[in-house]
Structure 1
Amino acid sequence: MAFLNDYHVHTDNSMDCKFPMASMCEQALQAGVREIAFTDHLNHHLLDLDLGFYRADKYFADVEACRARYPDLKILAGIELGEPHRWWKRIAPIVDNYPYDLILGSVHWVGKESMFDANYYRGREPQQAYHEYFEEVVQMVNHGGFDILAHVDLPKRTAYGIYGAFDAAALEDDFRAVWQACIDNYITPEINTKSLRLSVAEAHPNMDALRWYVEMGGKRLTFGSDAHTPDSIGSGMGEARRIALGAGLHYICHFEGRRIIQWSPL
């Protein structure tokens, strides 16, 4: 890959990451990453363990310090919003008043049920479990307020232990509904490689699902490792590139100031 970037990385500004931004920058440079977006969690679900954890002032102080310390690494200010369509009144004052370069949107909860809770899947047939999740994703994308759709088929991380191998073909209609919403609302999907490091051993999304996006006219794409530890930064990007090219996409997008400013060939 001519230009390696990673647009989904966490730091100790997220409750589920214990590593400071500087240590993530050090590893990014060692891994050959030249552009990185730190996308710490902002969650407002009342049952979420990190409710109230994120502090934008502290996050931006870290960004500015690391930009000064690591001039060879382009550092983008990002954030990962949990269910922004459900909590927008609480989210808007933050995203409207800080200079983010890109914003991820994620669904981690459907109603009061976490997508990381195995009981959600044990109580449902596979297609029902995924369909309810994808319906929530479509609502989020249609609401907007973010730039990049994170880990489109997140539930397969946990569902693999209950249902076994992920069957994208059985969910084609759901994927297409999400892709259409992305295209209509100018939302960029990511290839998220974290699930390559888990038992399901398959990226979000896989090549078949991404092909449907391309068939429908989708062109935008970013890559993200979803790293919560330094050794995961840049992980799986070769596989992400293979998936993108195999699906018919030949460029990745670069963001700045919440706009695509450049397309780089894969």
Structure 2
Amino acid sequence: MLPPDNHVHTEFSWDTGPWASMVETCERAVQVGLPAVAFTEHLDFTVWAAEDRASRDGLVDRHPANQRPIDVEGYAASIAECRDRFPELRVVSGVEAGEPHLFAESVARHLAAAPVDRILGSLHSLTEGNRLIGVNRMLTRSGADATMRRYLTEMAQMVRASDVFQVLAHVDYPRRYWPGGRDRYAERPFEAEYREVFRALAETGRALEVNTTSPLASVELVRWFRDEGGEAVSFGSDAHVPTSVGQRFDLAVDVVEAAGFRPGRDRFDFWRR
């Protein structure tokens, strides 16, 4: 039995489009045998509150600034439709909060107006001067290792500074854009930094996501999380089109099992040690 897909985007995320249908994604999820799917739309900010750390740190804008607010009314209506049309599938509402430690007040305001079931925390950007820059734009051949170390250090700080999310998404995000190709990326040189992230995550009892759009995490990397006290693993396709929901979950299950995690209390639960 496949685990739930806890990280999926639809037409309500700013980086997809009308072809990323929530209804069609549910149809596909039922087709492949998933018990549940969480629609975790991107919650990113190009304008933020005066109370946010981003304001206190003097950040004035984001580059690129393609992010758009979630259509919360349309999203809620689509969630309700899918729950009605697909009773055999658990449909979970959610957001993927980008850099939540920098935007705590803005995230809180959004969630107060539009509460959801599942919140992912992610890091897509780093600061450069008084701007936030997409990390993929900072990975030069000569500076990739330093950028990756800075990314993981910032991620550990994010985990410690923000308690709004239950799942840490794609700890390996920059490797998607690694200079020379993602296959040239090696995890072991960054073991100390990964372990610091995992230690912070384990201390709060939150789940690590194994993301199947990113190059699949190694058994060794997931074991580092377990070694540091990690209790729970979540599976996420990071699908942006319906055909990607649940992608490579068979392989991800093998990795997570080999690292010492097993299915949780029921088929909707995280996998646990």
Question: TM-score, normalising length from structure 1?
Answer: 0.87
1:7 maps to a residue whose letter is N
Aligned partner of 1:78 among 94, 99, 104: 94
Cα separation, 1, equivalents of 2:179 and 2:251: 20
3-state SS in 1 of match to 2:95: strand
Following TM superposition, the consecutive aligned residue runs of length 4 or more in structure 1 with deviations greater than 4 angstroms are 252-255, 261-266
User: Offset at 1:5?
Assistant: 1.3
Question: TM-score, normalising length from structure 2?
Answer: 0.85
- Could you tell me which runs of 5 or more consecutive residues in structure 1 were left unpaired when the two chains were aligned: 196-201, 256-260
Cα separation, 1, equivalents of 2:200 and 2:265: 19
Contact 1:221 1:251 in 2 (8 A): no
Cα separation, 1, equivalents of 2:165 and 2:266: 15
3-state SS in 2 of match to 1:161: coil
User: Offset at 1:181?
Assistant: 0.7
Which residue in the other structure is 1:199 paired with?
none
Contact 2:232 2:272 in 1 (8 A): no
- Could you tell me which runs of 5 or more consecutive residues in structure 2 were left unpaired when the two chains were aligned: 47-61
Aligned partner of 1:89 among 105, 120, 125: 105
User: Offset at 1:55?
Assistant: 2.2
Aligned partner of 1:100 among 116, 127, 134: 116
Cα separation, 2, equivalents of 1:168 and 1:68: 43
Backbone CA RMSD of aligned residues: 2.2
Which residue in the other structure is 2:13 paired with?
14
Aligned partner of 1:128 among 146, 160, 171: 146
**Equivalenced residues, count:** 251
Cα separation, 1, equivalents of 2:111 and 2:23: 23
1:140 maps to a residue whose letter is M
Cα separation, 2, equivalents of 1:207 and 1:160: 23
2:42 maps to a residue whose letter is H
User: Offset at 1:73?
Assistant: 0.9
Which residue in the other structure is 2:75 paired with?
59
Identity in percent: 31
Contact 2:6 2:37 in 1 (8 A): yes
Cα separation, 1, equivalents of 2:195 and 2:160: 14
Which residue in the other structure is 2:229 paired with?
217
